[in-house]
Amino acid sequence: MQLMKTRMIFADTLASAKRGMTKMVAVMGLTALGLSGCAAGSANLYAQPVAEFAQAVEQTSMAVSTYASLQQHLTVADTIARTAQSNKAVGFTAADCDPAKTSVKCRLTDFKSGAALLPAVATAVPPQVAMMQKMQIYARLLVSIAGAESAEDLQVRQRQAETAYDDLFQGVKDAKSGNLADVKVDLKAAIEHGLGSLYLNNKRIELLAALVDAGDPVVAELCDMLAKLSVDTERQFMISQRSRVSQLVDDFDVLGTAYRKNMGGLQIAEFQSLRRTVLADAAREAGMLQAVLNVNAKTAFARMQIAHLELRRALILADSNLGKAIVAIQNFSAAAYDANRAYQAILGLM
Amino acid sequence: MNDTNSPTQPQNETVNQQIDRLNQSVLNLQTLADRARAQGDFVRALKLSNQSVALSGDINRLCEQQQVQAFESSTWQILSAKLDALNVEAQMTEGRMQDASNNVETAKTIIGLVGKLVSAF
């Protein structure tokens, strides 16, 4: 397809060369590149904001992965608490932990019933994580379309355009016996801009605008759903975790009542060892509770929604609101990094 | 202790309402445990905490069920499909941008070549 296009352009060019040099220049410079009708604009205005948006999406995605594991933490903690409250025995079959066995998982079981007590490591990707992975793909494609070219890349592109123009101009000049002073400036600007950055930049904005416009309702819906889910998860974790910390503190205090002045050395060692363990658990769980209270994941989702909306407005209104979009993306980025940092701290406590 | 299947459970209560009601019970137990602990009655506090932990476990299981239902719901499935469609569109857009870039590179080569050909005429 590309070869055919090139052949067609080349055939047109040769035909034009026969008809007249100035006309050929106009055909190549304006029609073949589709420059007519292109609005003015600076190169790669959107590369940086879109890249920042994508990085913030990555951070949010990492935070979502961590908060999805909070649910599993609750299940494990609940099972441990229930089992410890009873006098039940726990079973374990070492042979089940075998990579050759795909159907049997490595797990602790109820000794009597053989039922799984503590779940093996979850292998399925939680749905909210899968959803954010799709959002990440979208954000990465936006970056690719926005063209994260460096200043050096743009200069190379511009130099190539200048060389192409110089070759063409020299050819036209030779054919016209050097009488081209009046057309040189306009044509140089048209061709160099076309071959350099202007044409591609306009194309980029046009394509980005259409895509971001189509994506905005989907991103908004995703943000709403994940924000609600994060609020529900955090609230439930807070209520359960408060019970768990209370229980550990009460365990510690009740253990304290078992202290006797006439305890032997072994009893004192056991007493202290048990109390140390319970106190360390209580401190860790209280730390995790505080860390979850500090997280505000829904803010990251709300700001992601606003950032995408402002990006859409800026693209559709041709740069007039880009400043507002940049601020919105920076706000989203700050919230996303905060949420991810907080969740990483929680992960460290699990 | 466990209100999940309480006979006083209202008929037609939604899972959300059930979770809210059980959460309120847990919060009440926590308040009572706080009070017993503050008074130095550690044994009573522990009993109340044990009850609230057990009830929290029941709620967590309900929440898990509720989440599974939400993930399997048509709303969630439709959103997932919309994201897939958006990514297909984004990939096509990326392809169109690449085409535009390739066309410019081709035009650059041809313009330079034509200039040289014309010089040679």
Q: Please give the pLDDT value at position A36.
A: 30
Q: Please give the pLDDT value at position A149.
A: 58
Asked if residue B115 and residue B59 are part of one domain, the reply reads no
CB contact burial A58-74 (16+ within 10 A = b; e otherwise): bbbbbbbbbbbbbbebb
**In a 3-state reduction of DSSP, which class is residue A22?**
helix
Q: How many CA atoms lie within 13 A of B52 on its CB side?
A: 30
Q: Please give the pLDDT value at position A190.
A: 60
Q: Does any CB of chain A come closer than 8 Å to the CB of residue B28?
A: no
Asked if residue B33 and residue B53 are part of one domain, the reply reads yes
Within a domain: A11: no
**In a 3-state reduction of DSSP, which class is residue A108?**
strand
Query: How many other C-beta atoms are found inside a 10 Å radius of the C-beta of residue A201?
Result: 23
Asked if residue B79 and residue B46 are part of one domain, the reply reads no
Nearest to A146 by CA among A187, A93, A199, A204: A204
Number of domain units in chain A: 1
Q: In DSSP terms, which residues pair with A118 in a beta bridge?
A: A108
Residues 6+ apart with CB under 8 A from A151: none
Q: Please give the pLDDT value at position A146.
A: 86
Q: Which of B26, B99, B118 sits opposite A171 (nearest CB)?
A: B118
Q: Which of A75, A199, A256 sits opposite B60 (nearest CB)?
A: A75
Q: Which of B72, B90, B112 is the last residue of a domain?
A: B72
**In a 3-state reduction of DSSP, which class is residue A99?**
coil
Within a domain: A92: yes
Q: Does any CB of chain B come closer than 8 Å to the CB of residue A171?
A: yes
Q: Does any CB of chain A come closer than 8 Å to the CB of residue B57?
A: yes
**Mean pLDDT in runs of 10 for chain A (350 residues)?**
43 42 40 35 73 94 84 78 82 80 75 79 75 94 78 63 69 62 57 64 86 94 92 88 94 92 91 94 91 85 95 82 90 92 79
Asked if residue B90 and residue B106 are part of one domain, the reply reads yes
Q: Which of A135, A160, A254 sits opposite B46 (nearest CB)?
A: A254
Asked if residue B49 and residue B86 are part of one domain, the reply reads no
Q: What separation in angstroms does the CA of A125 have from each of A106, A130, A292, A349?
A: 19, 6, 22, 22
CB contact under 8 A, A145 and B90: yes
Asked if residue B108 and residue B62 are part of one domain, the reply reads no
In whole numbers, what is the pLDDT of chain B averaged over residues? Answer: 83
DSSP one-letter code for A95: G
Q: What is the arithmetic mean of pLDDT over B51-56?
A: 92
Asked if residue B65 and residue B45 are part of one domain, the reply reads yes
Could you tell me the residue range of the domain that residue B65 belongs to? 1-72
Q: Which residue has the higher pLDDT, B116 or A345?
A: A345
Within a domain: A253: yes
Within a domain: A38: yes
Asked if residue B46 and residue B58 are part of one domain, the reply reads yes
Q: Does any CB of chain B come closer than 8 Å to the CB of residue A78?
A: yes
Within a domain: A56: yes
Residue written as tokens 């319970």?
Answer: A278
CB contact under 8 A, A85 and B54: yes
Asked if residue B79 and residue B60 are part of one domain, the reply reads no
Kindly identify which residue of chain A lies nearest to residue B118, measuring between CA atoms: A171
Within a domain: A163: yes
- Residue pair B101/A146 in contact by the 8 Å Cβ criterion: no
Q: Please give the pLDDT value at position B51.
A: 94
Sheet holding A116-118, edge to edge: A90-92, A108-110, A116-118
Q: What is the arithmetic mean of pLDDT over B21-31?
A: 95
CB contact under 8 A, B60 and A240: yes
How far is the alpha carbon of B12 from chain A, nearest alpha carbon, in Å? 22
Q: Please give the pLDDT value at position A122.
A: 60
Question: Which helix (H) or strand (E) segment is B78 a member of?
Answer: helix B74-120
Name every chain A residue with its beta carbon within 8 A of the beta carbon of B27: 239
- Estimate the share of chain B in helix, then strand, then coil, as percent rounded to the nearest 5: 85, 0, 15
Q: What separation in angstroms does the CA of A213 have from each of A58, A162, A163, A316, B34?
A: 21, 35, 38, 8, 53
Nearest to A205 by CA among A6, A1, A39: A39
List, as one string, the DSSP characters of A230-268: HHHHHHHHHHHHHHHHHHHHHHHHHHHTT--TT--HHHH
Asked if residue B53 and residue B99 are part of one domain, the reply reads no
Most A CBs within 10 Å, among B52, B91, B108, to test the A interface: B108
Number of domain units in chain B: 2
Q: Does any CB of chain B come closer than 8 Å to the CB of residue A163?
A: yes
Residues 6+ apart with CB under 8 A from B121: A17, A174, A175
Could you tell me the residue range of the domain that residue A305 belongs to? 20-349
Beta strands in B10-67 (DSSP E): none
Q: Does any CB of chain A come closer than 8 Å to the CB of residue B95?
A: no
Name every chain A residue with its beta carbon within 8 A of the beta carbon of B99: 2
Within a domain: A155: yes
